[in-house]
Structures are given as C-alpha cells and as structure tokens.
C-alpha cells in the first residue's frame, strides 16, 4: 500500500489529474494495520464490491481508453534532476549527467571556472567548497516518508555507515521531516533513529519542508562562498519536486532521490562522484566503503518492517492527530457564520476576485494595444510563475512584509502566504531563476516597461500598466505551466492584469487553470513561436476575432506592430467558453448559486 500511495501521490509530476489503484485485500490489510475498526473495514469491502470497484483475480478486466505497459524487470535505480522531476537519471549515470548539467548551468556566468574551490570554515570544520558539493540532504516529502520500506531502508543504511565510522560531510545540511508521527515511532522501535541522528538527520517537523523551500538558510560562510564565486551547489532530497528556485535561493541544482540515497549522498558530499563504483568514504581502519557495502537487502528491510510497524502506533497517533501542539491549541477562534477577516493579517486577506462582479457574463471583446509583460522560453514551470519557496527581502513581496511590520526572520515562504493575494501577486513571476527573454541574460522577475524601456520588477511593471490603462499579455514557449498544478500560477497573472497567454504549447492542467481564472490561453500555430516571428516584447499586441463570438478551436488574428499571425483559442469546450466569459470559474459558480437562490426565493413567495 505504501508503494501505491507513493506512485499515486506523484500524479501531478507525471501529468495525471489523479493516480488510482483498485481496492483489494491488501487495502483491507492496510486499514486493519492502521487501526480502522472491523465495522469500517467491512463497510469499505462491501461498498467497493457492490460498486464493482474491488479487485479480484477472477473479476472482469477494466476497459481503458489507452494503456501503457512497463516491464518491472527493466527498472533501474535512479535519481531525477537537476531542475525537473521528469528528468530521470540512472544512478550509475549521475556523475556524467551532473558534469554536463554543470557546463550548461555556468555557461552564462562571467568567467566560468568548472574547477573553482573556495576555502570555508564553519565552526571547527575547515574545507574547500566547489561546484557539485551537496549542501542540503533532506529526507522530506509527503510522497515517500510515510513509506516504511524506504524509511527503514534509510535507517539501516545509516546504521551500517555509523558502524563503519562514516559520517556526513561538514558542509551538508541534513534534516528529517517524516510524513507522519508514526514514522518516528517505528524508527525508534527499530533502533534506527539514533544512527540517522548520528549522521545529522534530526527531526525538524512533519509538514512541508525542503521540498517547498522550507529548509531554512545555509550556514553563513557557505552562503558567502556560493555567492562570491557563484558556485553551483547541489541538494539531494526525497521530495517530489525540484523545480528551479524552489529548494533554496543558494542551490542551483537539485536532485530527487529515495531516502536511502539521500543518506548516501550526505556521506559522499558531492555529485562529482559515481556512488555506484567510487567509495563513499573510508572506515575506521582506512579501508574504502562503497554503497554496496551499506545497502540493506529486501529481506533485512522486510523483517524490520514486519517487527517494528505496529497497529497501536497508528491508533495512538491518529487519536491525537487533530489536537495539534500547545501553540496551536492556544490560538483562539470564535464561531461565526462568515469568516471574520482581520485587516491586519499578513497571512489571510479578503481576496478581490468578486470586486465589481454583477453576476452576469461579460461580452466577448477583442484585446487592443496590449503590452508584453514577459517572453518566456520552453518548460516554464508553475514554480517559475508562482514560486513556493523563500521570499526575497529586497523583492516586492519582501518590501510589502517589511512595510507591514514583519521582520525578515518571520517572512516564512510564498507557500505559507498563499492566503494573502497582496503577497502572491508580488511573487508572481518572481522566481529567482526565471529568465525574461525581453532582457539580456537577467535572472529573476524583471521586465522592461514599454515604451519607456525602463527595467523594473514584474509587479511594478504590471501596476504601472494598470495605472496607464494598458492590458498585458505573456508570451511563452512549449510546455508552458509544466510542473505542479498550482492554482496561484493562474491567479497571480489574473491579478496582475494579464489578459492572455500566447504559448507554443501548454501543460494540460495549467491551461485549464488559466481558463478558470479568466485568462485567455492562445496557442501559436505549429512551427511558429516568438523567436521565429522575431518578437522582442517591445511590440503592442492586438488580438481580433473574439468580438465576433468565441467558438472552441477558433483562430484569432494577433497583430504585433508590423507582424501578423494566427493563434488558436484554447477554450476547448463550451463550458470553458462560459467560464471565460464570466471572468473565471469562481465568478461563474457564484452566479449560478445566486441564480438558484433567487429561484428558491420566488418559489417560496
């Protein structure tokens, strides 16, 4: 069941809306293990069987519109990175893959030196830091740190490493953030928590941590070394997302790995090593120790899982799951029919989505004389569009927080501030690694206001265009909006005043989210894009054909100064056209609820 949950939870990463495994006897065994009552287990079984949802060997095979087959014997140990979860690398190819990635990552740096080393002292430890050194090794994720097999595997690897006298490298920041308190119970029961802690993997919490950028700052001397020589430091984490700028502002290359491999890389301390053949370190007698020497067998793991993962652990922890820590319990909340908005809160603000909405759909209209806010390349992720990680002190969101009395140490992350549209607007397109092709080799959320040409933050430019009464558009390459299906990647552009996106292709869920927020998704005809059309971002953009009535798959004419081209309207269903005309699905739903309320009132009268 744990493996099924791991695979299902990665649905957004492999482009699925949801991942499903059928209910079967293994499911019922898991419900029993985790403390569900016999009555509840029987109810699940009877219901699923009655609905034809229970898998039996002699049951009819389900019929699917399409199928993919995977030969499990071909699966090889792998990691993924350095920028996207889909960029899988077989473990024995990790070192050459890293070398190639480094060349690409430093290609735009001034005077790049692939062999640079910086002397660093942290406390009693002195060392040289270079490209590829692992500065973060984190066992963290909602995806796999509730999986006993990989967690026990990590603990066993740590135990064998400690017994041989190995330790993590001094520049590696380690952390342990399980997906459940039960994990800590069975690690203690198996006597594997102590060796993990001996390698620095101490409990930091149970919520989202490194995977969403909540790893905290690196040691100041390490940060300084990275900044002074523009080092490409690396992280290895057991999370499910590693998009650019997400993990840490000081780490440019991030790799996803299983918890046991996270421990192994903490010991190795670098991506410049083939950990399948080269020693991770030396034992107490100076003999080399390889990954093979430490890797636990399936039999070892299974025996400890069977002995250490116990029903009473789940019963105990689930019984108190809703209580929260003492600090949570001290928070007072009065019961009320409507949420009592606090004007001083920097976490939750009354959103502006319904301001000026009269309950009616807008009349389809063309877009005239808009300006280009950004031109983006291929594979722009939702993390580029709406980062989840650290809030920069000198950025628009940081300035907002400081103006509202929040100190830097209390900034938290964009992910934690998603209930405040003022912060999320300022964070839109503010990823530290995003590149606006309107500017020359500039990283970060910057653009050139037109026609002045003045360089400024995306937020400042958007606000200026609003004051000038000018609409904006975003132009992108292929796979626009790839990655996690983040709602703010559509909400943010909407609130910035972006009326349309024109991309070579879209990630499926993000295109749908744009429609849901009233932003018009247009697609270049095959074979054309901003580069082939010679677009620079200085043009004014007019989109005509919408005012004549919107139809699914229709073509519109886009005029960018002297360049004219056709684009496909990616409103793919009649329902999506209706959502768009209402300004998004939120307004559409509100209008439907209001209409039902009026009908009910009339009927009662």
Q: What DSSP line would sit under 156-207, residue for residue? A: HHHHHHHHTT----TT-EEEEE-SSHHHHHHHHHTT-HHHHHHTT--B--SS
Distance CA 190, CA 304 (A): 7
pLDDT given for residue 203 in this prediction: 95
Q: Per the structure block, which two tokens stand in for 548?
A: 């004549």
- pLDDT category of residue 334 using cuts at 50, 70 and 90: confident
Region 25-45: mean pLDDT is 95
CA atoms within 13 A on the CB side of 377: 8
Nearest to 550 by CA among 523, 526, 521, 574: 574
Per-residue pLDDT, averaged over 426-438, amounts to: 95
Q: What pLDDT, on the 0 to 100 scale, is given for residue 300?
A: 97
Task: State how far the alpha carbon of 325 is from the alpha carbons of 202, 297, 319, 320, 341, in Å.
Answer: 19, 38, 14, 10, 24
What's the CA gap between 436 and 445, in Å, rounded?
A: 8
Residue 45's H or E segment, with its range, is helix 38-50
CATH placement of domain 2-73: 3.40.1060.10
pLDDT of 539? 97
The pLDDT > 70 percentage for the chain reads 98
pLDDT tens digits, 204-239? 988 788 888 788 889 999 999 999 999 999 999 998
Q: Provide mean pLDDT across the span 231-255.
A: 92
Q: Which of 293-297, 327-331, 418-422, 577-581 has the lowest mean pLDDT?
A: 327-331
How confident is residue 246, by pLDDT bands cut at 50, 70 and 90?
confident
95 within 8 A of 131, measured Cβ to Cβ: no
Residue 600 has pLDDT above 70, yes or no: no
Percentage of the residues of the chain whose pLDDT score is greater than 90: 78
The dihedral built from the CA positions of residue 194, 195, 196 and 202, taken in this order, carries a sign that is: positive
Q: Per-residue pLDDT for 469 more than 70?
A: yes
Yes or no: domain 78-317 corresponds to CATH 3.40.50.620: no
- The pairing of strands 498-503 and 472-476 is parallel
Rounded CA-CA distance 165/162 in Å is 5
Q: What is the pLDDT of residue 486?
A: 81
pLDDT given for residue 208 in this prediction: 81
Give the pLDDT band (50/70/90) at residue 18: confident
Average pLDDT on 111-140 reads 95
Q: What is the DSSP letter of 601?
A: H
Neighbours of 308 (CB within 10 A): 19
Q: How confident is the model at residue 260 (pLDDT cuts 50, 70, 90)?
A: very high
Q: How confident is the model at residue 60 (pLDDT cuts 50, 70, 90)?
A: confident
Ranges 344-348, 573-577, 591-595: which has the least confidence: 591-595
Residue 189 — φ and ψ, nearest 5°?
-60, -35
Q: 367-380+470-592: what fold?
A: Aconitase; domain 4 (3.20.19)
Q: What is the pTM of this model?
A: 0.88
Instruction: Determine contact, residues 33/314, Cβ cutoff 8 Å.
Output: yes
Domain ranges of the chain: 2-73, 78-317, 367-380+470-592
Question: What tokens were used for 366?
Answer: 């063309």
Chain length of the chain: 605
139, 102 in Cβ contact below 8 A?
no
When pLDDT is cut at 50, 70 and 90, the band that residue 536 belongs to is very high
Q: How many CB atoms lie within 10 A of CB 38?
A: 9
Structure tokens at 282: 């030396």
CA distances for 263 relative to 237, 268, 285, 487, 551, angstroms:
9, 9, 22, 33, 54
Per-residue pLDDT for 401 more than 70? yes
Higher-confidence position of 358 and 133: 133
**Mean pLDDT taken over the chain:** 93
**Average confidence (pLDDT) over 390-398:** 93
SS3 556: strand
Q: Is the confidence at residue 312, as pLDDT, over 60?
A: yes
Across the strands, what pairs with 27? none
Cα–Cα distance measured from residue 183 to residue 181, given in angstroms and rounded to the nearest whole number? 5
């Amino acid at each position: 069941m744990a493996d099924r949950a791991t695979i299902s939870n990665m649905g957004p990463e492999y482009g699925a809306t949801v991942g499903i495994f059928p209910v079967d006897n293994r499911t019922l065994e898991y419900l029993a293990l985790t403390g569900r009552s016999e009555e509840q287990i029987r109810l699940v079984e009877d219901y699923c069987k009655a609905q034809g949802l229970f898998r039996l060997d002699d049951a009819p095979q389900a019929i699917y519109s399409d199928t993919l087959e995977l030969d499990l014997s071909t699966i090889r140990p792998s990691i993924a990175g350095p920028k996207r979860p889909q960029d899988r690398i077989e473990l024995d190819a990790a070192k050459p893959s890293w070398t190639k990635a480094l060349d690409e990552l430093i290609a735009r740096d001034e005077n790049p030196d692939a062999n640079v080393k910086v002397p660093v002292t942290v406390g009693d430890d002195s060392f040289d830091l270079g490209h590829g050194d692992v500065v973060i090794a984190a066992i963290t994720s909602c995806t796999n740190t509730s999986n006993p097999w990989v967690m026990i595997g990590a603990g066993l690897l740590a135990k064998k490493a400690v017994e041989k006298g190995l330790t993590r490298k001094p520049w590696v920041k380690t952390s342990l953030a399980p997906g459940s308190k039960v994990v800590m119970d069975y690690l203690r029961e198996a006597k594997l928590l102590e060796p993990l802690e001996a390698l620095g993997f101490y409990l930091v919490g149970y919520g989202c941590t490194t995977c969403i950028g909540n790893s905290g700052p690196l040691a100041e001397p390490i940060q300084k070394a990275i900044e002074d020589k523009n080092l490409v430091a690396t992280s290895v984490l057991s999370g499910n997302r590693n998009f650019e700028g997400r993990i840490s502002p000081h780490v440019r290359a991030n790799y996803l790995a299983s918890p046991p491999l996270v421990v192994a890389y903490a010991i190795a301390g670098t991506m410049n090593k083939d950990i399948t053949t080269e020693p991770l370190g030396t034992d107490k007698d100076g003999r080399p120790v390889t990954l093979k020497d430490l890797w636990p067998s399936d039999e070892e793991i299974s025996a400890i899982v069977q002995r250490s993962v116990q029903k009473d652990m789940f019963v105990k922890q689930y019984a108190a799951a809703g209580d929260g820590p003492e600090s949570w319990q001290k928070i007072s909340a009065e019961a009320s029919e409507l949420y009592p908005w606090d004007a001083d809160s920097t976490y939750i603000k009354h959103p502006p989505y319904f301001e000026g909405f009269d309950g009616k759909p807008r009349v389809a209209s063309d877009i005239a004389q808009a300006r280009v806010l950004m031109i983006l390349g291929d594979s722009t992720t939702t993390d580029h569009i709406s980062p989840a990680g650290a809030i920069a002190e000198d950025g628009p969101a940081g300035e907002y927080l400081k103006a509202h009395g929040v100190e830097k140490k209390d900034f938290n992350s964009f992910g934690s501030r998603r209930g405040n549209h003022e912060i999320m607007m300022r964070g839109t397109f503010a990823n530290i690694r995003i590149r606006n092709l309107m500017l020359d080799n500039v990283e970060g959320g910057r653009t050139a206001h037109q026609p002045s040409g003045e360089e400024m933050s995306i937020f400042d430019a958007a606000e200026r265009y609003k004051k000038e009464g000018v609409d904006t558009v975003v132009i992108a390459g292929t796979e626009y909006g790839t990655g996690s299906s983040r709602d703010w990647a559509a909400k943010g552009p909407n609130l910035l005043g972006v009326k349309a996106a024109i991309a070579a292709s879209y990630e499926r869920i993000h295109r749908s989210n744009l429609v849901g927020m009233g932003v018009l998704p247009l697609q270049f005809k095959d074979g054309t894009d901003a580069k082939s059309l010679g677009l620079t971002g200085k043009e004014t953009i007019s989109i005509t054909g919408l005012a004549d009535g919107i139809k699914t798959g229709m073509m519109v004419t886009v005029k960018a100064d002297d360049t004219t081209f056709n684009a496909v309207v990616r409103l793919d269903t009649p329902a999506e056209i209706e959502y768009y005309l209402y300004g998004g699905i939120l307004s559409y739903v509100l209008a439907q609820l209001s209409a039902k309320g009026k009908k009910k009132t009339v009927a009662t009268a």
